[in-house]
Amino acid sequence: MTGKKILLLVSSCTVCSGLDNRNFDRLISQIKQDRRIGKILELDQICRAEQKRKIRSLNTRGSDRAIIASWCSREALGKIPLPKGIDPSLVEVLDLSLYSPKGVKGQPSPEPLMCAIRETAARLALSEPVRDRRIRFSSDAVAVIGSHEGAMRAARALAQHGYKAILIIPQKLPKQKDRNIEVIDEAVIKNLDGIPGNFQISYVQHEEEKKVACAAVLLVGERCLADVRPPTNPRVRFVPLERFDEFMSSGAKPKGIVFLDDLGSLTSASDTSVPLWHSLLESAKNAASAGLAEQVSVIARDIKAAGLLELVWKEAAESGVKFIRYDDKSRPKIDKVEPMIMVKDIVLGETLEIPADVIVAPVTTRPWEPVFIERMFVPGDWDVRVRSRGPQRGIGQSPCDGIFVVGYAGFAKLTDQSYPELGAVLSELSAFLNRGYHIAKGAIAVIDEDKCSACNTCVRTCPYRAARMNDRWKAEIIAEKCAGCGNCVAVCPSRAIELKNCTRAQIESQLLVSQEAIF
Amino acid sequence: MIIGERKPISEIAKMLVGKKKILLCGCKTCVAICMAGGEKEVAELASALRLISDRDNLGWEIEESVVERQCEKEWVRAIEQKIIDADATVSLACGLGCQTISDMYPAKHVFPGLNTSFLGVPEEQGVWSEKCLACGDCVLYYTGGICPVARCAKSMRNGPCGGSSDNKCEVNLETDCAWAMIYERLKQQNRLDLMLAISEPKDWSKSHSGGRRKIVRKDLLIQPTDRTGKEVKR
Amino acid sequence: MTGKLNIVAFVCENHAFSALRAISVSGESLPESFHIIKLPCTGRLETTHMLDALRAGADGIAVIGCLEENCYHDVGSMLARGRVERVKEILKDIQIEPDRVEMFNVASVSSSLLLSRLRKFEQKIGSLPATPFKGAMR
């Protein structure tokens, strides 16, 4: 606590406060007894221009911090100028209307008001000046990370809207004409570091490790097929569900066609969306009625036949489609030699061999790359999971500011269904880029290395991934990422962390004042 | 690490009847990490005991302290004066810490604030599970890194038993059958031949069943002999 | 019980404080017994704070935070609730009424709901026997 006292500017507006002069004087005389408070300036109608001038020209010597207490509306409070010579972070604005009904005459005692002012003074007396910083974005490029067509489409959309896109994909691409797209192909993402607006992505290309900087990242859903993959058996052909119509008119005559519900997504073991299921059933029905193959089968974990789907399912079954259910624990496998799928039917309890020259599977989107999940403020579970909870997020926003996602689904979804969101995500992205800066908070957590027991609890708990282990095997806070929430402070078993302007001493001081409060 | 849990506060309070100056001593190692006896928990216990003292007019003067590792004499020596001045010391370390203080100051009243539970690992934040029983004769080589002593209810050396069903243990249906897990693990490592090999019965004399254990490393002794050159008995 | 009630309210400065502040917009005000201690997040609250508040003489403790599935800082109000439960267990063990401590989760717009809940809480605290800790720490 400094030797300097707190300057108190209090509105003596009897109209707004509802306090008559007698009660107001009682309030002031009680506050004067608090040794933390120095000069008290009573301002009638504090919102008016001449009062504001008075505040601006106030001699603040003897005080390095101030409380402005008033009954004004929020906007009016916001317009009250700060006294000169006092650090803005050491000025507390107190809305007294919470403690007394506004504009009500003959109202209750001024005691709650006095308590509020004194409790605020108790905290403020121990605060230190802090400053939020703006860190300008270091680039204006957006890294588009994904695979195949999806990522290309997203990068092109960005370029069309005038943004610089850096496309990082694992495949090889022919030379691109668009100057707004920088292509980094045949690249595998290794790491993501940095803060919103200043990300560094490291990747490996042609066995060399490289880095690229960007302001924002757009993760694009990757097409993938189930773990029944073509290369395992060259006698089995894969046809994406979206292209099945083309296949039907191609004149091919397979022995067995198997329709699979694709389980490429990680989060839900199997949950096929209704439109996809509808499409699958229709295609199977068409294949069977056209006599395209000797046997048309559908192998799925959940055979959805509710509502309108029941009609389609019935028609499919009547056309001769065979439906086989499997369990999560015994998923279908392609035989290595013969063109068939082995699956344990959970109803019959036997392992069936289904002829499968052609496997039709919907292309799905896979969830987020592990390195991004780790970095994207998901708490450090060992079993990395994407959390649905988090600070209010719009479409396409991940828990991390500046990292956007599009085209990802929790379950199998036709790719075409995922991309309408791209437009919405682009608007969020442009709002982010236009902001142009990241706010690094001043009231952050600070770790005392000597007390740290290196238990990793703060690293796991921090919602912003601002806590990490340094080279000395002690925890440290990355100042630019810390949002000053104090969760790490409370979980640290060794009490090695303190939060600026919400220290234990401050909380205790407020507690004591709140109980001492007597009239 | 060693996992412990704080005893109910009412139980600790009963130990302190009639005392006045009370020292709470935590530890920064295992028990801090499992959130049972670190500085934070010492503070929590102190707050609760102060509530009891104020309410029941017991006049307890409670001092809080924490040492780096309570099982090592040098660290305990650092708070010697506090221990001597106190009427009672409540150790919030594991049983090792509590006994170290008591052995060093045998006339002082030193009480356990924790129940030391087991040797365990953090599965996730807030969840600790037992994985090692300190049997003194580690067989993890043969079981692909899964301990059959700690994780099998019967500590079988050649499992699984007949009660293993659907990969779960018959003793507790929520527990995975360790030997089912061992099988899967050895399969992943292409070492299934180890499952077929019959293991000899374990030498339990090396575990606690053989009595209290002690290890003497002659190469580390600072005073292997007394001044006359005779070997000191340990 | 006689005498003025003194309830300490630990309020997070995000959704909870928005809800609290909006109480005055409708012309209402906080019941006099509430003393507000603002925190950056209810996750900042430690169990010792709640125990110390009781020891300092508080009749009741209200912890007001965001809705758990919408905590501004992701984990705070969930962790705070866990700690409130832990304090309740400790209080039960040492024979202090666990009802003295309560967790309130609100959305930033639910000011009238919050006010009615706080009034009910005040009534409940008022119906408890007097806290033995008044004046203990003075």
Class (C level, CATH) for A441-500: alpha beta
CA distance A454 to chain B (A): 8
Looking at mean pLDDT, say which of A50-54, A72-76, B25-29 comes out highest.
B25-29
- Residues found in chain C: 138
pTM: 0.80
pLDDT at position A224 is 45
Residue A2 has pLDDT above 70, yes or no: no
**A419: confidence class by pLDDT, cuts 50, 70, 90:** low
Backbone angles phi, psi at A246, to 5 degrees: -60, -45
Tell me which fold the domain A136-223+367-438 belongs to: FAD/NAD(P)-binding domain (3.50.50)
Give the span between the Cα atoms of B130 and B132, in whole angstroms: 6
- The b-or-e profile of B174-195 (16+ CB within 10 A means b, else e) is eebbbbbbbbeebeeeeeeeeb
Two tokens at A395? 């479409």
Q: What is the pLDDT of residues A288-345, one digit of tens each?
A: 999 888 999 998 877 767 777 888 889 999 999 999 887 767 777 777 788 888 888 7
When computed from its CA atoms, the radius of gyration of chain A, rounded to whole angstroms, is 32
**Could you tell me the pLDDT band of residue A375, with boundaries at 50, 70 and 90?**
low
- Please state the ipTM of this predicted complex: 0.95
What average pLDDT score do residues A420-438 get?
A: 84
CB-CB under 8 Å, B40 with A493 = yes
B18 vs A59, residue with greater confidence: B18
Of residues B34, B16, B19, B59, the one with CA closest to residue B6: B34
The span from the CA of A452 to the CA of A440, in Å, is 24
Residue A381 has pLDDT above 50, yes or no: no
- Flag if C71 and A389 touch (Cβ within 8 Å): yes
pLDDT of residue B131: 96
Interface of A with C in 446-475 (CB under 8 A): 461, 463
Q: Distance between CA B12 and CA B9 in Å, rounded? A: 5
Contact C5/A at CB under 8 A: no
Q: Characterize A482-503 residue by residue with b for buried, 16 or more Cβ atoms within 10 angstroms of its Cβ, and e for exposed.
A: bbbbbbbbbbbbbbbbbbbbbb
Residue B92 φ then ψ, to 5°? -100, 20
Q: Which residues of A touch B123 (CB under 8 A)?
A: 382
Residue with the larger pLDDT of the pair A370 and A172: A172
For residue A327, the 8-state DSSP code is: B
One CATH from 1.10.357, 2.60.40, 3.90.25, 3.40.50 for A5-130: 3.40.50
Q: What are the boundaries of each domain within chain A?
A: 5-130, 136-223+367-438, 226-362, 441-500
The reply to whether domains A136-223+367-438 and A226-362 share a CATH topology is: yes
Q: How far is C55 from chain B (nearest CA, A)?
A: 6
Residue type, B144: G
Asked whether the beta carbons of residue A390 and residue C52 sit closer than 8 angstroms, the reply is no
Q: Which of residues 89-118 of B touch A (CB under 8 A)?
A: none
Instruction: List pLDDT tens digits, range B146-205.
Output: 999 999 999 999 989 998 888 999 988 889 999 999 999 999 999 999 999 999 998 999
Beta-carbon separation of C90 and B9 below 8 A: yes
Asked if B54 is an interface residue toward chain C (Cβ–Cβ < 8 A), one would say: yes
Mutate to test the interface with C, among B10, B44, B45, B127 (most CBs of C within 10 A): B44
pLDDT by residue (tens digit) across B67-79?
A: 999 999 999 999 9
Q: Which of A379-383, A451-455, A504-508, C22-26 has the lowest mean pLDDT?
A: A379-383
Q: Which residues of B touch C132 (CB under 8 A)?
A: 54-55
- Chain B residues in contact with C93 by the CB 8 A cut-off are 8-10
Could you please state the CATH topology (level 3) that the domain comprising A226-362 is classified under.
FAD/NAD(P)-binding domain (3.50.50)
- Closest CA–CA distance from residue C28 to any residue of chain A (Å): 6
| Mutation to test the A interface, candidates B30, B39, B64, B92, most A Cβ within 10 Å | B39
**CA-to-CA separations, B201 to A178, B160, C81, in angstroms, rounded:** 72, 15, 50
CA dihedral A369, A372, A376, A379 (to 10 degrees): 70
Pick C41's closest partner by Cβ from A99, A377, A487. Answer: A487
From the list A383, A451, A493, the residue facing B33 with the nearest CB is A493
User: What is the set of domains in chain B, with CATH numbers?
Assistant: 2-118 (3.40.50), 133-234 (no CATH)
Q: A438-462 b/e with 16+ CB inside 10 Å = b?
A: bebbbbbbebeeebbbbbbbbbbbb
Amino acid occupying residue A515: Q
Contact A355, A294 (CB under 8 A): yes
Nearest to A494 among B38, B123, B124 (CB): B38
- Pairwise CB contact (< 8 Å): C58 & A387: no
Average pLDDT over residues B35-56: 96
Does A178 contact B at CB distance below 8 Å?
A: no
For A487, which of C53, C56, C73 is closest by C-beta distance?
Answer: C73
Indicate yes or no: CB of C23 within 8 angstroms of CB of A119. Answer: no
**Whether residue C42 has pLDDT greater than 90:** yes
Tell me what pLDDT residue A3 has.
63
Q: What is the pLDDT of residue A61?
A: 84
Using DSSP bridges, classify how beta strands A364-366 and A222-224 pair: parallel, antiparallel or unpaired: antiparallel
E strands, A206-350, are 208-214, 216-220, 222-224, 237-240, 256-260, 295-300, 322-325, 333-334, 340-344
How far is residue A432's CA from residue A401's CA, in Å, rounded to a whole number?
A: 8
Token couple for A345: 């039917």
Specify the higher pLDDT residue, C28 or B122. Answer: B122
Of C138 and A205, the structure prediction assigns the larger pLDDT to A205
Which CATH number applies to C7-125: 3.40.30, 3.40.50, 2.20.28, 1.20.1070? Answer: 3.40.50
| Residue A315, C-beta contacts closer than 8 angstroms, at least 6 positions apart | A285
A508–C52 C-beta distance less than 8 A: yes
Is C100:C61 a contact under the CB 8 Å cutoff? yes
Question: Please, are residues A363 and A384 in contact by the beta-carbon 8 Å criterion?
Answer: no
Tokens 């004067």 correspond to: A32
| B168 vs A15, residue with greater confidence | B168
| Contact assignment for C73 to A508 by CB distance below 8 Å | no
